[in-house]
Structure 1
Amino acid sequence: MNSYSKSATLMQRGCDFLGSQYAILCGAMSWVSERNLVSAISNAGGFGVIACGAMTPDLLDGEIAGTKSLTDKPFGVNLITMHPQLFDLIDVCTQHGVGHVVLAGGIPPKGSVEAIKAGGAKVICFAPTLALAKKLLRSGADALVIEGMEAGGHIGPVSTSVLAQEMLPELAAEHLVFVAGGIGRGEAIAGYLEMGACGVQLGTRFACATESIAHPDFKKAFFRANSRDAITSVQLDPRLPVIPVRALRNKGTEAFTAKQREVMGSLDREEVAMAEAQLQIEHYWAGALRRAVIDGDVENGSLMAGQSVGMVKAEEPVADIIAQLMQECESALTRR
């Protein structure tokens, strides 16, 4: 087995934290990051993460159990902070002895970090700014993911390279920071490791793996796409706190604009509160994603993809993807 000695040295802190062979997390992609892909990534030496998304506690319970039946390696669970049953989902993770919980979608609500840690799990949070990163660390986060706007799905406004320059020099010496967003090759991994990152997170690169249950037409859309096809959604109303989403351009992106207008009308008529309006948007994305990933409706569903989609050209086993990334990373570090 290739030891990738230079890469392993720079990844050591991340590997020790995750309990994995390589400090490569798979981003949690709704309907894609389920038991088959998650277990395959963990079995191949990476760190798989279940995307809970809009799952109920019962569904999450079954998904964790199913994943445990396919791997004895560590894996995590991604929970959306605005989920109305967040604390019940945390309880499910605790009951299963999940070692790492990733909180995404906003600032963790009061008591959530404490509840996760009380259950024995480590907490990983997304940090879009340096100030929020420091606040999250003070609040008990064990590790951070800094994700740039090149990523697929819900994104922030700043590029990965700028976030890395702003945050790694300030935080990486004393804290565990993973970099995400637009990473498609090992040379990029090498660069972020040299800047102080303890590891990386990739989503788009794994979405079309052989083990991914995504519909063949969903995968074909990725293979045909280039980086410019992965565009961001537009926020129509500043009252509606819509987090931009990056996805491949299709009729579904236009439908989201119509959905925003519908929700804006409900707000104008005071038919819904702001929290309910935001939840309606999230449910829209969950349904649109399912249509694309599971049903193969690539015209009307949501094809969430990062700008690294142009580097996804064929269906490959997860083990081959990880081996290629590690070889590219090691070769880059060796050339330095």
Structure 2
Amino acid sequence: MTDFTKTRALMARGAEFLGTDYAILCGAMSWVSERGLVSAISNAGGFGVIACGAMTPDLLDTEIAETKKLTSKPFGVNLITMHPQLFDLIEICRKHDVGHVVLAGGIPPKGSVEAIKGEGGEGAKVICFAPTLALAKKLLRSGADALVIEGMEAGGHIGPVSTSVLAQEMLPELGEEHLIFVAGGIGRGDAIAGYLEMGACGVQLGTRFACATESIAHPDFKKAFFRAKARDAEASVQVDPRLPVIPVRALKNKGTEEFTAKQLEVAELLNREEVEMGEAQLQIEHYWAGALRRAVIEGDVENGSLMAGQSVGMLKAEEPVADIMAELMTQSEEALSRR
């Protein structure tokens, strides 16, 4: 079975929007979603997304240029809304004619969506994350071209509601008229088929691709994923209600315990009025950036951050991206054919 007729029919709107064979996005994972993995996913028919994270404009400029050398297929760039140089990063995307920009990390600041889309809409398409139905409607009114609804089963920064509940709440109301991608805990094509039947135009997966052969993640990082069970991917705890800390799902280790200590440290700085709230939030984000690098690049799986979704228990070995994509599409097609 190679034509995937039923699956492609259900994801046709999403694939047309992305300019891809399959409406399967790879979630942007800091330090993991770089030129190698992004280009491999796009070359395999999916949609790779560069994780800009804390990159400077110059670093993003280089990353986009290097990715273009590895693929002629469409790919996107994920920008964090709280990045202090957000508008400079948007200009870098415009310089390279990036077709799709994914805004993550909060409500897009004033003027950012307009800057991405450009005058007359000749710029990039905008994809936003929507944790609630009310916010989803607001983002669509504000110019978002597509939405990702991501459940708490996902890795990294998460919301409080499960994927299945978000899908039941949002897809019947928005899925027919708008482009809605579903994310969070998806590890098999059977689940993809189910969300497509509910009205999603496509899906986003991160954890499933994190340990692909083309992923630059350290071998020890990958081994930690292969050993893990779903229950090992735990959400972080907010220790001070004043700190607007978004929960993060990662494999439990010393690093997750150190994050609790980091929150207490920043809370004490707030008590002494030594930092503003915005700076406090940035300190938390910088902690995660450093902890991620220790795990992904250096292989420090004890003290680094092993951000993983609950689908991590389905990962057993390294596989090429093309094989992962083919397996997901085959599983989806077989599930739809059984209906």
CA–CA distance in 1 between the matches of 2:197 and 2:328? Answer: 16
What does residue 274 of structure 2 align with? 271
**Secondary structure at the residue paired with 1:201?**
strand
Match of 1:223 among 200, 219, 226: 226
Spell out the pairing of 1:175-324 with structure 2 (5 A cutoff).
175-324=178-327
The amino acid across from 1:121 in the alignment is A
Instruction: Give, in angstroms, the shift of residue 210 of structure 1.
Output: 0.1
Equivalent position SS for 1:124: strand
- Aligned residue among 135, 140, 149 for 1:137: 140
Q: Deviations over 1:137-161 (max 9, x none)?
A: 0000000000000000000000000
Q: What residue number does 1:150 align with?
A: 153
Shift of 1:2: 1.7
Deviation, 1:41, is 0.1
Residue 78 of structure 2 is aligned to residue 88 of structure 1 = no
Q: Secondary structure at the match of 2:70?
A: coil
Show structure 1 runs of 4+ deviating over 4 A.
Answer: none
In the alignment, residue 288 of structure 1 is paired with which amino acid? Answer: A
How many Å separate the matches in 2 of 1:193 and 1:266? 47
**Partner residue, 1:69:** 69
The whole-number CA distance in structure 2 between the counterparts of 1:2 and 1:334 is 13
Deviation for aligned residue 1:183: 0.1
- Partner letter of residue 34 of structure 2? E
Query: For residues 87-124 of structure 1, what are the alpha-carbon distances to aligned partners after superposition, in whole Å with 9 as ceiling and x for unaligned?
Result: 00000000000000000000000000000000610000
Give, in whole Å, the separation in 1 of the partners of 2:313 and 2:172.
30
Secondary structure at the residue paired with 1:82?
coil
Structure 1, unpaired ranges of 5+: none
Q: How does 1:7-156 map to 2 (within 5 A)?
A: 7-118=7-118, 120-156=123-159
Taking the aligned partners of 2:77 and 2:334, their CA distance within structure 1 comes to 32
Amino acid of the structure 1 residue aligned with 2:69: S
CA distance in 1, matches of 2:96, 2:6: 35
Tell me, yes or no, if structure 1 residue 159 matches structure 2 residue 162: yes
Task: Give the letter aligned to residue 92 of structure 1.
Answer: I
What is the CA–CA distance in structure 2 between the aligned matches of 1:271 and 1:52, rounded to whole Å?
A: 29
CA RMSD of aligned residues (A): 0.6
- How far has the Cα of 1:314 moved from its partner? 0.2
Measure, in 2, the Cα distance between the counterparts of 1:143 and 1:48. 16
What's 1:329 paired with? 332
Letter in 2 for 1:318: V
User: What's the CA shift for 1:3?
Assistant: 1.5
TM-score, scaled to structure 1: 1.00
Query: C-alpha distance in 1, partners of 2:70/2:286?
Result: 29
Once the two structures are superposed, residues 3-39 of structure 1 have per-residue CA deviations (whole angstroms, 9 ceiling, x without a partner) of 1000000000000000000000000000000000000
Pair 1:168 & 2:171 matched: yes
Q: What amino acid is the match of 1:231?
A: E
Q: Which amino acid aligns with 2:208?
A: R
Equivalents in 1 of 2:3, 2:32: separation in Å?
A: 29
Partner Cα separation in structure 2 for residue 20 and residue 286 of structure 1: 30
Q: Return the alpha-carbon distance in structure 1 between the equivalents of residues 72 and 164 of structure 2.
A: 35
Work out the CA distance in 1 between the residues paired with 2:62 and 2:46.
22
Q: Is the partner of 1:55 in helix, strand or coil?
A: coil
| Distance across 1 between alignment mates of 2:187 and 2:132 | 23
Runs of at least 5 residues in structure 2 that lack an aligned partner in the other structure:
none
